[in-house]
Structure 1
């Protein structure tokens, strides 16, 4: 028998995939030939017309509305996804016995019941959303999944575009944007919002969207407002936190564009050290070429890119040129990343002020973004950097670098304690990002120890939650144990957000334990004088020769903090409450 299997769950991820695989395996045990379609949030496998035409039976396991018109006339059986997971063999047996020719009517009653009874077609909305975070990895995709699931649970049609480290995925089309009732932008960095001009827009952070997804959608329904020409309205029109639209967001935009430079440059430098710590000094060698690529070029672009994209976040494209010019001046004057941050904000707000205040005749207005704004903003930024900012900031950065390079073990441990604790306070939030930005910025001054402590401490909360779910299995629900496995892997990849589901459920235990564990790891890393050349990658960066100077001690520091968190939380977490059935209640 030839069958086709279609699975879909509200979040469109793990359960969809798991149900499809279990049904496929059960069908193969019966000797059936299968074709599978998994309807996911980001990637979707689609049945071909030939597969549908040759099918003797269509099996649908879905907990959300899906389109079934293409199966008209085919023997079809459908049931909620929850019925397929525990007993896929029984599910297929029911399908074989109860399948009936499909009449081409979508939205069966059982699928409609997934929406709240209080929500009708008049209040259901079409929502398009975009998520983006500085690194484009964890928060971007976790927030997208949370919004997609929450939107469907509330009965809305929602599509989420993710702007991650590999570019935009699940991209919104012009038609989808035109049909949308609300645009929801859960972004910690600046994204192109011109395509949403004229649409009601609601802005928030990825952290809020992840932790309070249903509330975020309800807030969007109540507070979305039309923005002029794709720009954020003035402060009097809408209130936005500094995290959402102010200094914090502009800084993170610059950091997100700078990160690839830092990673590529740091790893090229590390590879040059494979041939010897001073092998790059011999001209014409591969080591010298690698050092030129990493230290001479990629690291030289770090500060200009940081400043340029801070200015871009503030003033859009006219801010890029003055921002990068100011950043390059900061680099050549020795003001480093601190000077670059100052240059970026100075260039951005100068360009924005000129754009707003300078009025030109209509005949030459088109020259303003190309000629006038870049010229005037570059002059202002450059002169301020040369005559006012550059020398004092260079002296301050030099003093900071000397202190970090020459501090004793006690001060190093204290710094490691502080940075490690900051990485674990809010698991990817503003404090975490502040510590991370500090470490990344120091790489441009060839100061590598703080970055090692920061990455190690950022790994241990998620790894620790995975360990805890293994050590105290009886205290965790099945879904939490599965989440613990995922958190463990995310932690190995330096994705602190893997611990967020546990912190959200039990913040009074998880967060303090994570802070202590992160502080221990950070202190050990600084005490062992471990240096890390790249700011991301987790344990996998150890596979690159020279990326970490003392790999075994680095693993020890991470293991100590992770085991502390895992063992402590396993001990302190209360046991699950079991529902007691009164005697005689069961028949």
Structure 2
């Protein structure tokens, strides 16, 4: 009974966090890509300045998206928990979390506390004559003051200290020291192809794109590896796949180049025992290569489309190719030849006609 309760709790938390992440990603992608393009246009690995003219204005657009993604994460986490009344408290509490340097962890905690607070406030019975007061004053005011106070006076400082320690520790890593981290992130990104484990690793890397761009350097090749690897497998080992899967393989390569790991899902669905380990190992290899050679990416996305804003492009491409070939080789040598299943009627089978069926 206890195991079922634990599973139910985790499934519920996962659902709310996935909802929040889904709403947050457009802020990260729009802001991060636009800002990265602005940096690329300056021709220097530095933020644009007012003297750069319209490029600087473009960077402001990107900076706005990056400034909003953590408040969006907290706001929509609270929205998932408590509905519309939770949006404002969640956004405000998560914004405060940014101001006191608690990072994305503070944003998640802020959204969680705000959502739970509003959940409890919604249980208060209010007379039908005063329901308007509840929606205008009770939920936004009390629902904001309580979680904000908790963030500012209780959990903010410890979380900020932890985030500062983590950022400093990761930034100090170099060369071989980053390889285990590359393997861990790569494995998480490849194991469920866009699922909750993938989203946790991706969100962690995306939210650190400004301070720790080497994490996106790991994520970029790792997310591209499973679909490209499966696509290459359909080209090199044609007998292992049906005609439909071979066509899907070409689409998977294109999706991988665009950083969409979900392109490998059709293959994992049809043969999970062989495909999932192959995808995971390939992504681990890609993550380790990019980590070791210090690849950095200034765009919070993956695949080959981000190459213009990647530092260490050659090793980025090498990581994608080697990881994809590893995935393709494992699938190719492990998977059995595909055989079309045709049901044939033997001579001994009875061929009965029932007049009623006509």
| Counterpart contact for 1:453–1:522, Cα < 8 Å | yes
For 2:46 and 2:198, how far apart are their aligned partners in 1? 34
**CA 1:363/1:555 → structure 2, altered by over 3 Å: closer, same or farther?**
same
Cα RMSD over matched residues?
2.5
Give the structure-1-normalised TM-score.
0.55
Give the structure-2-normalised TM-score.
0.88
For 2:269 and 2:126, how far apart are their aligned partners in 1? 53
Counterpart of 1:80 in structure 2 is none
Q: Does 1:448 align with 2:213?
A: yes
| Counterpart contact for 1:318–1:370, Cα < 8 Å | no
For 2:331 and 2:62, how far apart are their aligned partners in 1? 42
Aligned to 1:464, which of 215, 223, 229? 229
Q: Does 1:427 align with 2:168?
A: no
**Offset from partner CA, 1:541-563 (integer Å, 9 cap, x none):** 33xx4x22222221111011011
Give unmatched runs, 5+ long, in structure 1. Answer: 1-238
Q: Does 1:285 align with 2:19?
A: no
For 2:110 and 2:156, how far apart are their aligned partners in 1? 10
For 2:199 and 2:239, how far apart are their aligned partners in 1? 35
Counterpart of 1:563 in structure 2 is 325
Length, aligned pairs only: 340
Cα distance, 1:567 vs. partner? 2.3
| Counterpart contact for 1:272–1:286, Cα < 8 Å | no
Q: Does 1:294 align with 2:59?
A: no
Q: Does 1:379 align with 2:141?
A: no
Cα distance, 1:470 vs. partner? 0.9
Counterpart of 2:131 in structure 1 is 365
| Counterpart contact for 2:223–2:303, Cα < 8 Å | no
Q: Does 1:259 align with 2:25?
A: yes
SS for the counterpart of 2:125 is coil
Aligned to 1:520, which of 271, 285, 294? 285
Counterpart of 1:342 in structure 2 is 109
**Which structure has greater strand proportion?**
1
Counterpart of 1:392 in structure 2 is 158
For 2:92 and 2:342, how far apart are their aligned partners in 1? 69
| Counterpart contact for 1:242–1:249, Cα < 8 Å | no
Give unmatched runs, 5+ long, in structure 2. Answer: 1-5, 348-358
| Counterpart contact for 1:467–1:567, Cα < 8 Å | no
**CA 1:284/1:525 → structure 2, altered by over 3 Å: closer, same or farther?**
closer
| Counterpart contact for 1:452–1:530, Cα < 8 Å | yes
Q: Which has the higher contact order (CA 8 A, sep 6+)?
A: 2
Moved over 3 A (4+): 239-244, 281-284, 576-582
The range that moved more, 524-533 or 335-344, is 524-533
Cα distance, 1:279 vs. partner? 5.9
For 2:101 and 2:87, how far apart are their aligned partners in 1? 21
Cα distance, 1:388 vs. partner? 0.7
